[in-house]
A and B are shown apart, each in its own frame.
Chain A
């Protein structure tokens, strides 16, 4: 009797969507940090959400190609860099053509999407059936070429996108938010996530993409034009990368290595979310962004306590540790296929199985 009520209770818990639990946990962490460190933690959390939404865009794009092509694309970060620099070249009044920034973004989206299609046609299609590591190495080569071509054309001096950032807006409680750097980033990310969701759920292309990610051979035999779908996936992935690149260009200065540096965070987001699960990658991006910025608060405190000399310079380490933790505890990621292994759910399932006997 007692175990039945327990099972019922856990079953009710089971009905809560997984992402609500995760976002709730994240909010809890932010709240606890807020109590411990006060205003700094909350500011860090806002910044984390803004940076996280860039990771969300990068990670969901990477996750799309990862899901279908089954290899880690090390050139994804540099596709972001290329996007940002194309926007810069089109819209900068001094070094570029001085066009409207929106035109610049449009050109960037289009050209990086085409770059993705080109890479698939010229390199990655030929490496099909050679396992996950051969295309990975090829993508490392592509990354090297892209970042050095950008360095060659634009030099390695930091650049600024011609976007006026404007003053911060106060939110009360001593908190402030920059409407462009934080607000715009988050809004753009939300809009694009909704777009991606609609695409994946309701359009024929999106359904075909999910089918291909599930089982490429089966999709081919059921009459899906998989080559076409893969090309579209590269295009969409590239377009998302371009937008992410432009957004990061608004938050920080552009250098030719900005994307390669971000790649690590994006991989962390993809792994936390579960490889090939775009929805998981979105949550993963948010988690990585917030943890990164929150860990910077803790690290600064440690620096003040003379434990570490580096302080917030170590903030990438926070995100990586989160990634390693997920790898240890739940290697298939929070959205991975072995759902039974998600903490309380597995207990609920075990209890249910035990009571069913």
Chain B
């Protein structure tokens, strides 16, 4: 049974990495294309994941071991649930962006960081609504009716996630090729100049931020489907840092860079996981330490890239207008 082992291994690397690609594409729209610093990536990802999970599993009554969670009495299908998750994450983004986008660039960072903390606290504490620290589980995967859980299900999910990533990639590329997308870059380079040319920069920033957050919500929904059970502590600021590292390492404003960044970065996580799997006897302390070292490497990489190669591994292509 070589095939199932291979698929399992491949899926374990490809699915998280591709979800990271989608998340990073959302962030790239905000940060790479428009220059908005969103420090609450984890919040939008988490809101998307939880909305999806609650909608697809439906209402769960409280029991002795489980506090229950809210949801519709008839569970949603996966596609409408995903769309709602995107809408909720996007709406939350707009809600935060409206008061802060008109202000200095760093206010948005601080407000979104605060939002991420509040969202995490709500997910953790409103046990009757979200299930709290007891995980929401039994989240369905696409085509559950046709394929059994196991390596086939992983393989199918891998294809679905990859397809979604391609769709998102095409959509963001088409969007940014439009005048709208070029105006975003104008806002990033010089907001006052863009204003002087008659661009409504607030609206541009708002739409870009909202769409970016919706894409993060989509990534969250896919993540929920992949892991099958959600706990609030998966959505800490570490996730936000990861998304930023991916975008900055790969190349802000360039989807090829972002994709490369996500797959390279995921190698790091995958390698530590393998290490853990191989050395089954390593103590919990050592495994925690591996995490710390991992984070330190990420931090140092972030600083080094900002200092010496701010354009990332694959720099953004310069925009050259076509000659008529």
Contacts and interface: CB of A to CB of B under 8 A. Distances in A.
Interface in B122-136: 122, 124-129
Given A323-B114, A331-B103, A143 B299 contact: yes
B285 A155 contact: yes
A144 B122 contact: no
A127 B306 contact: yes
Contacts of A264: 110, 113-114, 117
B106 A72 contact: yes
A141 interface: yes
B242 to A, nearest CB: 10
A176 B37 CA distance: 44
B145 to A, nearest CB: 35
A152 B289 contact: yes
B2 interface: no
Interface in A151-192: 151-152, 155-156
A143 B37 CA distance: 16
Contacts of A268: 110, 114
Interface string A118-160: 0000010011001111111110111111011101100110000
B288 to A, nearest CB: 7
Q: Is the interface of A mostly helix, strand, loop or mixed?
A: helix
B296 A148 contact: yes
A72 B118 contact: no
B293 interface: yes
Contact of A142 (B99, B289, B293, B303): B303
B307 A148 contact: no
B248 A137 contact: yes
B121 A313 contact: yes
Report which residue of A71, A132, A141, A145 has the largest number of chain B beta carbons within 10 angstroms of its beta carbon. A141
B19 interface: no
Interface residues of B, number: 45
B281 to A, nearest CB: 20
Contacts of A127: 306-307
Nearest to B99: A328
Interface residues of A, number: 47
A320 B117 contact: yes
B244 interface: yes
Given A143-B299, A309-B126, A152 B306 contact: no
Given A145-B296, A309-B125, A137 B244 contact: yes
Interface in B102-123: 102-107, 109-111, 113-114, 117-118, 121-122
B117 A137 contact: no
B76 interface: no
B263 interface: no
Contacts of A327: 99-100, 103, 107, 111
Interface of A: 71-72, 123, 126-127, 130-138, 140-145, 147-149, 151-152, 155-156, 260, 264, 267-268, 271, 275, 308-311, 313-314, 316-317, 320, 323-324, 327-328, 331
The 8 closest A-B pairs by CB, nearest first: A310-B125, A141-B302, A144-B299, A145-B299, A141-B303, A320-B114, A148-B295, A72-B106
